[in-house]
Amino acid sequence: MVRVEARSIGKSYGGVRVLDRVSALFQPGLLTSLLGPSGSGKTTLLRVIGGFVAPDEGEIRFDGENVTSVPLWRRNVGMVFQSYALFPHMTVQQNVVFGLNRRGVRGETARKETARALEMVRLTGFEARRPKELSGGQQQRVALARAIVTNPRVLLLDEPLSALDRRLRQEMQIELRRIQRESGLTTIFVTHDQEEALTLADSVAILDRGKIVQEGPPGVIYERPRTRFAASFLGDANFFTGRVIEGGIATATGVVRTDDRLPAIGANATVAVRPEKMKILDEAAADVAAPYGNRLAAVVSEIVYAGAVSTVLLKSADGSQIKILTQNREARLPAPGESVTLAWSAAHCVLIDA
């Protein structure tokens, strides 16, 4: 298990700053997700770590060793690309053993290592098939087996699940997590899919315009985002901005209370509230004291049904849009045009950076 460190990595293409002195620490044996929109620099950072791209400045270290100038073929990393990059004319066995052969490993040793890798990805018995005879999920497993068969120091994954349909992608997320835990490899995973990052990662680093804006365990980042970008990119959030007064923040929709420590009275402040933390009070509860620090009158604009949950879009008195998520276990959801009362706890109002 290898500790990977990126120190002040800078990279530009054609005068455009893609990575802006990025520093990150990837702990040994854990799976870290690089999450961000297109153009945020996540794939470039992954390729710099792997040796596919040379940085303009900064260092990459494996267990303290500076490998910035070490060429790709000597860095000993496993890489799974978005397209899998399997050799179509080769069998599964030949695809997986290819990396071993390039390293001079042949014969019985190569056969045993290939069998071990295929067993780990649950493809024993598929050795004679060619990629075109496999499903998308099976092809992805072959690519994983080829990446791990050489016992790499680090495993790099560049959106390997993006080509799969939703159900297969969810199944492969579980399989990929199992394989990573069994192998114990330090793994860095690039994705733009929020759900994927939350499902797979031990740690998440959110990138925006070439910088890491927040990193840490997915639960911490989701529950306690530090910036508006982190709050809105990893999940959805409702934002309330106003002036700090005694007991809360005076916003256009009323006073919003938070358990977070606020700046001085008179300062501007913004809080974020996750949609699932807010609820619609029924008529009986709306006039009764309830354990909610915040209430807000709103009008339902639209309801989007999605099976187990529904998204309810509402408008407050000042015209701001509010989004909430509700489990479809209630007898009735309010209809568009209906006036309702929203409520949420002060503990769920998270103060974020300006």
Each residue's pLDDT tens digit, 149-203 = 999 999 999 988 887 788 888 888 888 899 899 899 999 999 988 888 988 999 9
Q: Residue 240's pLDDT is what?
A: 96
Check whether residue 220 and residue 253 sit in a common domain: no
Q: Residue 290's pLDDT is what?
A: 55
How many domains does the chain divide into?
Answer: 2
Check whether residue 157 and residue 191 sit in a common domain: yes
Q: Which residues of the chain have pLDDT under 70?
A: 283-291, 330-331, 354
| CATH code of the domain containing 135 | 3.40.50.300
SS3 content of the chain, % helix, strand, coil (to 5): 30, 35, 35
Q: Residue 330's pLDDT is what?
A: 67
350 neighbors 225 (Cβ within 8 angstroms): yes
Check whether residue 214 and residue 80 sit in a common domain: yes
Check whether residue 193 and residue 252 sit in a common domain: no
Check whether residue 113 and residue 150 sit in a common domain: yes
Residue 233 resides in a domain: no
Q: Residue 291's pLDDT is what?
A: 64
pTM comes to 0.87
Domain extent for 277: 238-352
- Gap between the Cα atoms of 176 and 31, Å rounded: 10
- Gap between the Cα atoms of 165 and 70, Å rounded: 37
Which three-class secondary structure state does DSSP give residue 110?
A: helix
Residue 232 resides in a domain: no
Tokens of 289: 């004291």
Q: Residue 289's pLDDT is what?
A: 46
Last residue of a domain, one of 201, 224, 247: 224
Residue 230 resides in a domain: no
- Which pLDDT tens digit goes with each residue over 212-233? 999 999 999 999 999 999 999 9
- Gap between the Cα atoms of 273 and 316, Å rounded: 15
- Count other Cβ atoms within 10 Å, centred on residue 125: 10
Amino acid letter at 270?
Answer: T
- Gap between the Cα atoms of 166 and 195, Å rounded: 11
